Amino acid sequence: MTLDESLAAAIRDDHATAPVSERDHVMLDYVARLTRDATQIQPEDHDRLRGAGFDDAAILQITLIASWFNYINRVADALGVGRPDRRS
């Protein structure tokens, strides 16, 4: 979480080139893979997170939070939340 709008924009544009720590890059890579296709996550992905300093509890939290955002955004998209053509 950041209040730095330029950092948030850099992460949105391309997390791989955003000015964040290597640890955060590893986490963002994992979240991007999880978002694209969670079935492709392998034990090596978790090992990479561990190598960056995340323990199993943190890996679970990262996975749960990213999955929840993926879920809730899909629900919102399906219901037209935030779309200008949304009907009441």
CA 7 to chain centre: 15
Inter-residue contact 30 to 48 (CB < 8 Å): yes
User: Domain locations in the chain?
Assistant: 21-79
Average pLDDT over residues 36-61: 97
Tens digit of each residue's pLDDT (9 = 90 or more) over 56-79: 999 999 999 999 999 999 999 999
Tens digit of each residue's pLDDT (9 = 90 or more) over 7-27: 888 888 888 888 899 999 999
State the pTM of this model: 0.82
Inter-residue contact 18 to 7 (CB < 8 Å): yes
Residue 82 has pLDDT above 90, yes or no: no
Q: How far apart are CA 87 and CA 15, in angstroms?
A: 34
